[in-house]
Structure 1
Amino acid sequence: MAELRDRITTVFQKNVANPLMRLMPFQTLLETTGRKSGEPRRTPLDGSRIGDQFWFVSEFGDKSQYVKNIQANPAVRVRLKGKWHSGTAHLVPDDDPHERLRSLPKFNSFGVRTFGTNLLTIRVDLEG
């Protein structure tokens, strides 16, 4: 059942939600480098900036394409409030993603908790 839910969620995000959200000028975006194509890949998401770090939770963990891209190349960019920031992404499997979600924006956290099946915390260390 979780596998079917994951497939439906992925198809909806890829074909409907993500293309629309990418067009919103102040939507937070994570830009990774495609591990096969070498092309920039932009994923709408939400999280919180704490000092020089940006924290978020992936709903599908290491099954997410952007997580696979991070594993291949951790150099990323994050668009926050319309401005791009370069950084280095780190998977943080020892962090409690449920606890982390309590400190992140409520609307996005609700969606991640509702549809997520393999939660994984990610920290981006932002450059200057």
Structure 2
Amino acid sequence: MLYGKEHVDRYRATDGKEGHDWNDTTVLLLTTTGRTSGRKYTTPLIYQKHGDDYVIVASKGGDPQAPDWYRNLEADPDVEVQVMGDRFPARARTASPEEKPELWRLMTATWPQYDEYQAKTDREIPVVVLERAAG
């Protein structure tokens, strides 16, 4: 099973032919800038399309603390996204309370464990919308 650095390396090397389809769902690569280090970090994340946008979930398996990638994009919402061979700049934002129910249903339809993760933590798990940057 791929995940982590090996997943990122194989995904990049094959333009997603290896790594995009994973455990009956789909994965993109999200690159954020470290909020303290300034370094680039790439994370493979389950996603779904919603209109022109891409939707991801900052679950960290139900951990009480948000994942580092989410904390990074809170500090700098300008990110890079790769979906298959398509690499593009995007702006990340947390879904509004009005948007979240629909987007949560979209994401739990592809990865039902998100409901389990939310039940494990008091933290409100954010849904993140990635909007392709104009240009």
Scaled by the length of structure 1, what TM-score is found?
0.71
Segments ≥4 residues shifted beyond 4 Å: 95-99
- For residues 63 and 77 of structure 1, the distance between their equivalents in structure 2, rounded to whole angstroms, comes to 20
- For residues 87 and 35 of structure 1, the distance between their equivalents in structure 2, rounded to whole angstroms, comes to 17
1:46-57 aligned at under 5 Å gives the runs: 46-57=46-57
Hey, what does 1:66 align to over in structure 2? Answer: 69
Give the aligned residue type for 1:46. I
Hey, what does 1:7 align to over in structure 2? Answer: none
Q: Which runs of 5+ in 2 are unaligned?
A: 21-27
Bigger helix share: 1
Q: Secondary structure at the match of 1:35?
A: coil
Is 1:40 paired with 2:40? Answer: yes
Scaled by the length of structure 2, what TM-score is found?
0.68
Shift in CA distance, 99/51, structure 1 to aligned 2, threshold 3 Å: closer
Hey, what does 1:92 align to over in structure 2? Answer: 95
Hey, what does 1:120 align to over in structure 2? Answer: 126
Find the partner of 2:78 among 75, 97, 109: 75
Aligned length: 112
- For residues 112 and 96 of structure 1, the distance between their equivalents in structure 2, rounded to whole angstroms, comes to 17
- Give 1:123 deviation, angstroms: 0.7
Shift in CA distance, 80/53, structure 1 to aligned 2, threshold 3 Å: same
CA RMSD, aligned part only?
A: 2.6
Q: Which runs of 5+ in 1 are unaligned?
A: 1-15
CA distances 1:94-121 after superposition (whole Å, capped 9, x unpaired): 15656424323745x2243333433111
> Are the counterparts in 2 of residues 95 and 121 from structure 1 also a CA contact under 8 Å?
no
Report sequence identity in percent: 21
- Give 1:46 deviation, angstroms: 1.5
CA distances 1:4-25 after superposition (whole Å, capped 9, x unpaired): xxxxxxxxxxxx8312321332
